[in-house]
Structures are given as structure tokens and as C-alpha cells.
Amino acid sequence: MYEDRPKAPSEVKRKLRQHARFGCCRCGLPIYQYHHIIPYSEDQHFRVEDMMLLCPLCHDMATKGVFSEIQQREMQVSPFNARKGLTGGMLYTRQEYCAVLAGGVLLVGEGPVIVADGEPLLTLTPGTNGHVRFSVNLRDENDALVALIQDNEWISGDATVWDMESDHQKLVVRSSANRVALNLNMKGEPAHLRAKFWHSGYMVDLRGIGIRVNGVNAGQHLSEGLAFAGMALDLDTEIPRVQLTPQLKNGFLVSEHNPLERLKKTVEAWRRLKSEEPSRGTRT
């Protein structure tokens, strides 16, 4: 969908994200692209007043002339999330960390959540105002890249073959065959992740309890009651086996049978780890 042109300057992107409150100006979806109301092909510009955030599907409609310029400017002036009072957008967390239950394993931290053979498949990082930065690498069974999202920006892939929906802290991404590739529900704590990834011809299944690679339980050594602070699930798909890789310099394991106590202790461990790290700049 993007033409062969330079990327929009970072400051322009930041202003557009903040104005739209981190979502599509038309529908609020927290996966977006940077749309030129005045087409770039007619005027090579990156003017904030002549641009806006649109999700890949709405962007495709806009570039095909479905919306008039007047309609586009109405969307830009009054973005969906602003009308709904969603300061941090639809994908939102009240905490300064992401607590996620994936395959029955509790993970608390920020950064890569699922890694396969050293390549991040899913990354979650809380930003300012509760806005969650979301990156995902979706491939098919032949290992061909079908969708790449980096920090909520749709970088590549044919958006018309995907069905995406978001409803206040919930994001669902389906393939053209109406199969759920990713379901992230952040309405409670921890968030619940259900997903099916393909990597190097291997199918990584995180739907329900257990982490399966081509149907084999790769996380059978991860017993119930374990949780991890500042760690990512790192899969070796050929063995298959799950290891834990630190998101920061170190990670921490928590063993606690009670779910509420397990979450509390893991959050406390994450905050200790975070306090030991050098301060890093945040992206808004």
C-alpha cells in the first residue's frame, strides 16, 4: 500500500499517534498506518495537518477513494478514540508492565513475549497513558511473511486478507480462512493470550493450557504454579522445547500455587528488576 518514498519523520508520527489517541481515526483499531489526506503522489509532504492514522483496512478504503476529502478531514478532526474518551487507545493497560498468561504460563514484564529460534514473534511494551506497543510477526506454513506489525504500525502484508477487531482492551486477528491467529484480551490482569504462529514450517500453538509445537507439548517441564518476571518464552522448534530468555539483564522465577499471590509476587519481582536497570527513554 505504501509507495516507494521516505518514511514519515518520527516527530510527525508521534504527533499523529497522540492526536488520534493511538488508533485508527475512523474505527479506533490499535493497528495503523500513516495516511496522507493530500496524496503523497500529488504533493510530497509530511504535514501533520494533512495526514492521519488509519488502520490497514480503512487506509485501503481511503486510498481507493471510498471516502471524500471532506469525510477524511472529519475523521481527522474528531478521531474515534477521542470521541470515545479512550486516552490510551483500545489496547490499554493500567500498569507500567504487561502481565500475560500464555499457554498457562504467567509472564510479567515488557518486550518480547514469544520468541522462536531467536526471532521475536510477539512483543508487548507499555507506553505512556496506558498505551500498549504491540509488534507481531505472522507467517504461513511455508514460512512466507504474511503480516508484519512493528509498534502497532502495519509494515507489510495484504491487509485485505485479514480480519481484525478491537473492543476496549481486546485485539483479535483472523486469517482469510476465518481462523484466529491471535487473540489478546487485556480486560483483566493478567491479560490472556491465545495464538497460533508459524515459524520455519513449525506451528506454535498457544491456545489454552500448554505450549505446543506441531502438536508436541514443548513446555511440559513448566509446572503449574510457576511464573516469570522479565522473561520471554523462547522456543527451540526442532527439539521442541521452551526456554526462558531475560527481557532485561536478568529475569526472575516465582513459584506460588495461589494465582493472586503468584501475580503479586511476580509483579514485585519485575519492579525490583526494573529498578536495577539504567533508565531508558519511552516512546509515545
- How many helices (H) does the chain have, and how many strands (E)? 5, 20
Q: What is the pLDDT along the chain (284 residues), one digit of tens a residue?
A: 455 678 899 999 999 999 999 999 999 999 999 999 999 989 999 999 999 999 999 999 999 999 999 999 999 999 999 999 988 889 888 888 999 999 989 999 999 999 999 999 999 999 877 889 999 998 888 888 888 999 999 998 877 777 888 888 899 988 765 577 899 999 889 999 999 999 999 999 998 888 999 999 888 778 778 899 999 999 999 899 999 999 989 999 999 999 999 999 999 999 999 998 776 555 66
Residues 6+ apart with CB under 8 A from 44: 5
The pLDDT of residue 174? 83
The CA-atom distances, in angstroms, between 278 and each of 98, 240, 251 are 19, 35, 15
| 58: nearest Cα among 201, 166, 140, 133 | 166
The pLDDT of residue 111? 95
The pLDDT of residue 269? 97
Dihedral sign of CA atoms 12, 15, 19, 24 in order = positive
Grid coordinates given for 263: 501475580
The pLDDT of residue 129? 78
The pLDDT of residue 1? 44
How far, in Å, CA of 161 to CA of 153, rounded?
Answer: 17
Q: To 5 degrees, how large is the angle CA 17–CA 163–CA 210?
A: 95
Grid coordinates given for 119: 526471532
What pairs with residue 164 in β-bridges? 173
SS3 assignment for 46-76: CCHHHEEEECHHHHHHHHCCCCCHHHHHHHH
Q: Which residue has the cell 518514498?
A: 5
The pLDDT of residue 284? 67
Grid coordinates given for 137: 510477526
